[in-house]
Amino acid sequence: MEKQQFKAESKRLLDLMIHSIYTNKEIFLRELISNASDALDKRHFLSLTNDEKRVNQEDLKITLSTNKDLRTFTIQDTGIGMTKEELENHLGTIAKSGSFDFKQENKDAEDIDIIGQFGVGFYSAFMVASKIVVESLSANDSQGYRWTSEGADGYTIEPIDRTEIGTTITLYLRDNEEEENYDEYLDTYKIKSLITKYSDYVRYPIQMMVEVSRPVEGKEDEYTTELELQTLNSMVPLWKRNKKDITEEEYNNFYMNKFMDWEKPQKVLHYSIEGTLSYQALLFIPSKTPYNFYSQEYEPGLQLYSKSVFIMDHAKDLIPDYFRFVKGLVDSDDVSLNISREILQQDRQLKIIARSIEKKIKSALVDMLVKEREEYESFYKNFGLQLKYGLYSDYGAHKEQLQDLILFYSSHEDRYVTLKEYVERMKENQDVIYYVSGDSIESIKKLPQMERVTEKGYEVLYFLDDVDEFAIRMLQTYMGKSFKSINQGELDLDTEEEKAEKETLKKENASLLEALKDALKDKVKDVTISSRLASHPVCLISDEGVSFE
Ligand code: ADP
Ligand code: MG
């Protein structure tokens, strides 16, 4: 056994790997499983292209085990394995990716989703292990080898007896530290949860012997514990399956489990985009406003997967803020990830995907508005406020996107309407969109000035949220029509006849108006004959140009 030395640079690199690249120690499992999955892909590919190397699909798998006494965590695969040279080159050289080379050499293997590319993932295991032993027999060799390393001071390679093709990696966990308990990686529950989080959709079964306790038949309160081989991952990602074959219940359960909601989603959006940047998306609109939706606590953003491996949660850049109520995930083979695979490297790719997602959500909402009005209105009750905030934010930059999604309660048939519906049924002589602000539908209905406007046959939009006036201010006009509060300035509702009548009334009552003005002189600017009123004697209005009465 001859001890090989890492080059000095490699030592420093290894140190960097362990301490700086990853923010999260637990991702070592994601990396090792991704490597095993790649190795299985390669063996499968070999089996397809070489009759002598045939292997049964059901023999391709990953097995996990732990030894609490030795404090070891072991991951075994029946993949392609590594020859002595490969152990040296791929594990002994940091930033050397055998998987990357494999893809280069086997162009026809392009459509197998090999995950590795940077040649650093393996070393993430040193974040949790002080010593790593890799035993492997390559499908292209008859001699097995053991590679052993305790990190920076190098590695040894020795021949071993091994008959099973594949690789077994044993991690000797680091001693527990004050802020880091490595024993948790011996815990079945923890391991299961990490697999679910990162590697649930790896295409090969990830199996482990798990202790299960069962009630003894006929005896109460008595249990036996047995070991049972369990498959920990669900393997096929729902979003990669054909839409036609997925039931509503499957979508609902997936959503409720993954996004921890008690209620099924109101809307499911499942689609796939092929192009310069391909991706699959599975998006959901919740059927209730999350309790913390309008607080700091709410974390918007989509989950990002690359090649079915979980990369990050709450990727905010994938979704515009005004659609932050959308939950779901995006899976793309094409995004280039940074070295830790924790974040995306290219903003541009993200932007292309984000723009495409935004379009999809917008058109799904428009579709719902047109075809399922009631559905849309209940969606709007949950999240309409967010859309109006969106209209208002960024100086109205999103008005094109949002103006047709906004609803207002309207005096027309007492229901929610779109601005388009309003404008399309405007009276011939009407050139503004009337609105009125108030706390509730009831209090608005009681406003004296409402009576005359509606009597004249004009429709009035009710602004019930504080943000409404701000949003409309950003919009300025809709289809060329501006907005006008019926509480403000001149309304110009009168016919010529009525105008003349008003003038006469003004003259006839000049002394009364003077007296009233005098009596209220500290409280109002003017007292005049109004054309706003029908059955009510009096109302308060504000000056043109003064906002928020
Ligand atoms: P990457 O996966 O980005 O290529 P890694 O550091 O994770 O980089 O792994 C380096 C290389 O080691 C891989 O490209 C592969 O050639 C080899 N390798 C790692 N794990 C295994 C394994 N379980 N079976 C076969 N080869 C492996
Ligand atoms: Mg890797």
Whether residue 322 has pLDDT greater than 90:
yes
Ligand 1 atom 4, closest CA: 97
**pLDDT tens track for 131-176:** 999 999 999 999 999 999 998 888 999 999 999 999 999 999 999 9
CA of 92 to the centre of ligand 1 (A): 11
What gap in Å lies between CA 469 and CA 467, rounded to an integer?
6
Probe target for ligand 1 pocket from 14, 16, 45, 97, with the most ligand atoms within 8 Å of CB: 97
Tell me the per-residue pLDDT of 38-52, one tens digit each, with 9 for 90 and over. Answer: 999 999 999 988 989
Q: Hey, is 171 helix, strand or coil?
A: strand
Greatest mean pLDDT range, 182-196, 384-398, 490-504: 182-196
3-state secondary structure of 316: helix
Within 8 A by CB and 6+ apart from 493, the residues are: 452, 453, 456, 458, 531, 532
Q: How would you classify residue 265: left for phi > 0, otherwise alpha for psi between -120 and 50, otherwise beta?
A: beta
Once rounded to an integer, what is the mean pLDDT over residues 377-390?
Answer: 95
The set of residues, in sequence order, having a beta carbon less than 8 Å from that of 434 and lying 6+ positions away, is 453, 458, 459, 460, 461, 484, 485, 486
Q: Tens digits of per-residue pLDDT, 437-463?
A: 999 999 999 888 888 888 888 999 999
Burial status of residue 538 (CB atoms within 10 A of its CB: 0-12, 13-18, 19 or more): exposed
Which residue carries 């359960």 as its tokens? 253
Cα separation, 403 vs 426, in Å, equals: 18
Look up residue 503 and give its two tokens: 């003038």
- The pLDDT tens digits for 62-88 are 999 999 999 999 999 999 999 999 999
pLDDT tens for each residue of 522-543: 888 888 887 777 778 888 887 7
Q: In percent, how much of the chain has pLDDT > 70?
A: 97
In the reported structure, the alpha carbon of residue 33 is separated from the centroid of ligand 1 by a whole-number distance in angstroms of 10
Number of helices followed by number of strands (H, E) in the chain = 15, 19
Q: Which ligand gives the minimal distance to the CA of 97?
A: 1
CA dist 482 and 261 (Å) reads: 41
Containing H/E element for 421?
helix 419-424
Q: What is the pLDDT of residue 111?
A: 67
CA of 200 to the centre of ligand 2 (A): 17
What per-residue string of b and e applies to 59-91 under the rule 16 or more CB within 10 Å gives b?
ebbbbbebeeeebbbbbbbbbbbbbbebbbebb
From the CA of 13, the nearest ligand is 1
Give the residue among 302, 355, 360, 359 at the shortest CA–CA distance from 331: 302
Residues with CB under 6 A from ligand 1: 31, 35-36, 39, 77, 79-82, 90-91, 97-100, 116-122, 167
Give me the chain's average pLDDT, please. Answer: 90
- The pLDDT of residue 549 is 35
pLDDT higher than threshold 70 for residue 8? no
pLDDT tier for residue 547 given thresholds of 50, 70 and 90? very low
Q: Are 139 and 46 in contact (CB under 8 A)?
A: yes
Q: Taking the model in full, what pTM does it have?
A: 0.80
Instruction: Provide the 3-class DSSP secondary structure of residue 115.
Output: coil
Q: How does pLDDT run across 102-123, given as a tens digit for each residue?
A: 888 887 766 677 888 888 899 9
Predicted confidence (pLDDT) at residue 544 exceeds the cutoff of 70: no
Give the C-alpha distances (Å, rounded to integers) separating 336 from 22, 130, 245, 282: 17, 31, 31, 20
The rounded Å distance from CA 162 to ligand 2 centre is 23
Does an H or E element contain 434, and which?
strand 432-437
Neighbours of 277 (CB within 10 A): 17
Question: Is pLDDT above 90 for 26?
Answer: yes
Q: Is the pLDDT of residue 18 over 90?
A: no
